[in-house]
Structure 1
Amino acid sequence: MHWLLQPFLFYLVVISDLFNEDVNNGVIIDRKSWLSDAMFGASIGYFLIDLAMILWYFPSLGGKEYLLHHGLSMYAIGLALLSGKAHMYILMVLFTEVTTPFVNLRWYLDVSGQKNCNLYLYNGVALFIGWLVARIILFAYLFTHMYFRYEFLY
């Protein structure tokens, strides 16, 4: 369900002028909108439901690392929501969840014995490309963006 938010996250970070440095004055870390607040609320709801499922079926759906991941994610989102700070960066991190459907489909195909079908191969290619863009290139951009804009980092 969390991946359904991806078009809104993409709109806020890439298409809208909310975080455009050429259009808006002021520090990016202070910018937010009602839509980013709504995305954070929906994300916390997703993490809570997913956490409940993980706890209910513990440890078959994930171990302690998943509990830590969900706890830290909700903490970071909650801080951004309550403080009104760093919305762009949290939205960018949430965008990395775009790869989740590919990860889930890979697991379903594996469990159902479909590792030899074409869908498994195509999904693997899509997962690789999605992971490269959303998890590697995006994080490189995010940390570079932060490094060159905030003096507390160096």
Structure 2
Amino acid sequence: METRELTVVAGSFVTFQLLFSVVSPLLSAVLTPAYGLVPANKLTEWNSRLVSTVHALVVGLFCLYILCFDDKVNADPVWGDPTLVKLNVAITCGYLVYDLVLLACNWSTMGDGFFVCHHLAALYAYGYVLTRGVLPYFANFRLISELSTPFVNQRWFYEMLKYPRSHRLVVLNGVAMAVVFFLVRIAVMPPYWASVFATFGTESFARLGLGAQVAWISSCIALDVLNTIWMYKIARGCYKVLTGAAARRSKAAPEPEPLAAPPPSPPQDAVKNHAD
């Protein structure tokens, strides 16, 4: 790994740590008065999810820019010029390291084996991008999935602020979350794997070597299995929200307003997402 990539990874780690420990608490207290009513054992996750949203927006939008305008990467998905992709991947690696440290330090309240597996699989695969500059198109393509993260986090924020599930903002965000998650994590699987299979047997694929080939394919399989599990949970939650809202409308009951009171703990099956 070149000095530039190491610097970006380290800078990303420090930046996200500052966002978590300094910026998020101050900004949340100003913009959301109910932040002070969030239970102490949930404040860490609140700040973590705000940082996660910032990372997802930065990396996701950068990813779209590369997909639309980086002709060298799109022309040669295995060995194309990785300059911009390596920058985006380095930002993500810094975030993943920050999040793993955060999970380890707060395992009793935030620990999740799925996320540890997700982060380690992503770091394993992205390590080849940073050290050898290979597979830039495929690495960047995987980062499209980050665009669903803000909706997942917003769902959790609404629960912490005690918005009832029938509230129109909760319903709209739930539908948007399910739709976007499906589009950027599930619907992209066929074209992504079609592109992967198209490289098999080519000279470009052979040049990767067995190590990179195994890291690439195995990590993609692991990530897609996790995405499928999460999609099932999100779809189930969205169905409950929609059917619950429809039942309440049929009774013509007035829609309750969110309460500014200490919120209950979220349900055990609530989807958590620090990053993809």
Please state how far the C-alpha of 1:33 moved relative to its aligned partner. 3.0
For residue 30 of structure 1, give the secondary structure of its aligned residue in structure 2: coil
**Counterpart position of 2:194:** 144
Task: Give SS of 1:42's match.
Answer: helix
1:53 is matched with: 102
The gaps in structure 1 that reach 5 residues or longer are 22-26
Q: Which residue of 2 aligns with 1:79?
A: 128
Q: TM-score of the superposition, structure 2-length normalised?
A: 0.50
**Structure 1 residues 109-118 or 140-149, which shifts more?**
109-118
Say whether residues 1:39 and 2:88 are aligned partners. Answer: yes
Residue 82 of structure 1: CA displacement? 0.7
- 1:121 pairs, out of 159, 171, 188, with 171
Q: How far did residue 10 of structure 1 move?
A: 0.8
Counterpart for residue 63 of structure 2: 9
1:130 to 166, 180, 185: 180
Structure with larger Rg: 2
- Structure 2 unaligned residues grouped into runs of 5+: 1-53, 206-212, 214-276
- Alignment root-mean-square deviation, CA: 1.9
Query: What secondary structure is seen at the aligned counterpart in 1 of 2:109?
Result: coil
Specify the SS of the correspondent of 2:64.
helix
CA offsets per residue over residues 16-53 of structure 1, 9 Å max, x none?
312333xxxxx420113321111111011111111121
* Cα deviation code 1:90-142 (max 9, x no counterpart): 11111101111111111121233212321111111111221121011212211
Maintained 8 Å contact 1:102/1:126 = yes
Q: Please tell me whether residue 98 in structure 1 is matched to residue 147 in structure 2.
A: yes
Q: How many residues align?
A: 148
Aligned-pair CA distance for 1:54? 1.2
Query: Contact 2:73/2:82 (CA < 8 Å) preserved in 1?
Result: no
Distance 2:68 2:188 in 1: 12
Instruction: Look up the SS of the partner of 1:48 in the other structure.
Output: helix
Check the 8 A contact 1:96/1:134 in 2, yes or no.
yes
Change (3 A) 1:64 1:132: closer
Structure 1 residue aligned with 2:77, among 28, 35, 40?
Answer: 28
**Which of the numbers 148, 152, 161 marks the counterpart of 1:112?**
161
1:120 counterpart letter in structure 2: V
Q: Is the Cα–Cα contact under 8 Å of residues 73 and 136 in structure 2 kept in the other structure?
A: no
Runs of 4+ in 1 over 4 A off after TM superposition: none
Q: CA deviation at 1:2?
A: 2.0
After TM superposition, give the deviation of residue 148 of structure 1 in Å: 2.5
Question: For 1:58 and 1:88, how far apart are their aligned partners in 2?
Answer: 34
